[in-house]
């Protein structure tokens, strides 16, 4: 292991200690010079006690040494590591964004797709645990990002998503469900969540697939964008998927509702034990040394003896 300090900025405290030492030495020198103005050199040594002069000469250095020990302890010397058990929720989720032609409708300004992308970014910025992936779909589904802890990177890709990135137009939720579930299972997850953001009407096969996935531990929630015609079908899809259906809103109430449901899911998710390696702070050894030295020097007469 490499010896280093956990908090090296504490060594900046050496600067005022050195300045005080210089000031103390200059003051002591000035005091001796004042006596020298009025006394001959051969008489001065008899007026100033050698014991007092020696004690004054060494005391600033002793205090500086004690200060250096204290600073070194606060800086956190370390040369070994220890394992810290950490429990982390291993919930995973995939956001499936609809980029079909119907999402270009402008009944919600500037368009359904633009507002759906804003909602996707809001979701990503509010996810703080587990891993997140993203797919887009029309009549087929396509991977945007595999599962990752870095939701900010996914959020940076969302603005460029549009219906031109898919080769075939149309709208089918079933491939999006299958693609999302495959992404979750390939990462070894036994639980997870699919969040659909869409204006499409689900087929009976899609509702059946959502129900099957829920049985396997993968829930499906839906954020409906800009259409009342498909809301009943999307509600049925969310119910079959043991998730929640939320209508688009101009404020954050839709996102808050999805997050509340997600919290219910993550509270039931299994936790995995991870061992995190941390540097061990060995500064306590220097603290004990400092306590011993201070106690030793504080005894009556000991300071004079060693000086």
Say yes or no: 22 and 110 in one domain: no
Say yes or no: 91 and 203 in one domain: yes
Instruction: Work out how many domains the chain is built from and give that number.
Output: 2
Query: Cα 173 vs. chain centroid, distance in angstroms?
Result: 34
For the chain, the average pLDDT equals: 82
Greatest mean pLDDT range, 169-183, 215-229, 253-267 = 169-183
Say yes or no: 255 and 113 in one domain: yes
Say yes or no: 214 and 110 in one domain: yes
Say yes or no: 109 and 228 in one domain: yes
Domain at 255, CATH number: 3.40.50.410
Query: What is the pLDDT averaged over residues 238-248?
Result: 93
pLDDT in tens, 254-280: 888 887 765 555 454 445 555 667 888
Q: Which helix (H) or strand (E) holds 113?
A: helix 112-126
User: What are residue 33's DSSP bridge partners?
Assistant: none
Position 171 scores a pLDDT of 86
Say yes or no: 262 and 288 in one domain: no
Q: Is 98 in contact with 137 (CB distance < 8 Å)?
A: yes
Position 269 scores a pLDDT of 47
DSSP 56-84: HHHHHHHHHHHHHHHHHHHT-EE--EEEE
- The yes-or-no verdict on residue 235 having pLDDT over 70 is yes
Position 245 scores a pLDDT of 93
Say yes or no: 101 and 149 in one domain: yes
pLDDT in tens, 143-155: 999 999 999 999 9
Position 41 scores a pLDDT of 57
Domain hosting residue 49, numbered range: 4-80+280-306
Q: Which residues of 153-171 are buried (b: 16+ CB within 10 A; e: fewer)?
A: ebbeebeebebeebeeeeb
pLDDT in tens, 70-123: 999 999 999 888 776 655 556 789 999 999 989 999 988 899 999 999 999 999
Say yes or no: 216 and 295 in one domain: no
Query: What is the pLDDT averaged over residues 209-221?
Result: 95
Residue 52 banded pLDDT, cuts 50, 70, 90: very low
Say yes or no: 39 and 108 in one domain: no
Say yes or no: 185 and 201 in one domain: yes
Say yes or no: 212 and 112 in one domain: yes
Say yes or no: 110 and 227 in one domain: yes
- CA 199 – CA 208 distance, rounded (Å): 19
């Amino acid at each position: 292991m490499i010896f280093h300090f956990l908090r090296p900025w504490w060594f900046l405290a050496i600067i005022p200690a050195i300045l005080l030492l210089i000031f103390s030495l200059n003051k002591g020198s000035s005091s001796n010079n004042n006596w020298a103005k009025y006394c001959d050199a051969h008489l001065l040594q008899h007026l100033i006690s050698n014991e007092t002069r020696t004690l004054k000469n060494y005391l600033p250095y002793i205090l500086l040494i004690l200060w250096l020990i204290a600073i070194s302890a606060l800086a956190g010397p370390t040369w070994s590591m220890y394992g810290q058990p950490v429990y982390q929720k291993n919930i995973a989720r995939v956001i499936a964004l609809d980029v079909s032609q119907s999402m270009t409708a402008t009944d919600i300004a500037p368009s359904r797709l633009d507002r759906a992308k804003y909602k996707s970014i809001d979701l990503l910025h509010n996810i703080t645990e587990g891993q997140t992936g993203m797919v887009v779909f029309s009549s087929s589904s396509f991977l945007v990002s595999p599962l990752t802890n870095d939701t900010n990177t996914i959020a940076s890709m969302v603005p460029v998503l549009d219906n031109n990135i898919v080769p075939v137009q149309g709208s089918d939720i079933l491939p999006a469900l299958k693609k999302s579930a495959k992404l979750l299972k390939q990462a070894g997850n036994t639980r997870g969540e699919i969040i659909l953001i869409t204006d499409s009407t689900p087929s009976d096969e899609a509702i059946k697939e959502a129900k099957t996935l829920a049985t396997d531990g993968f829930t499906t929630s839906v954020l409906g964008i800009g259409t009342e015609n498909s809301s009943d079908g999307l509600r049925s899809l969310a119910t079959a998927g043991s998730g929640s259906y939320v209508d688009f809103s101009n404020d954050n109430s839709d996102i808050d509702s999805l997050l509340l449901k997600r919290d219910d899911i993550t509270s039931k998710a299994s936790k995995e034990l991870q061992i995190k390696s941390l540097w061990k702070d060995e500064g306590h050894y220097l603290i004990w040394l400092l306590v011993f030295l201070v106690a030793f020097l504080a005894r009556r007469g000991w300071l004079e003896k060693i000086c």
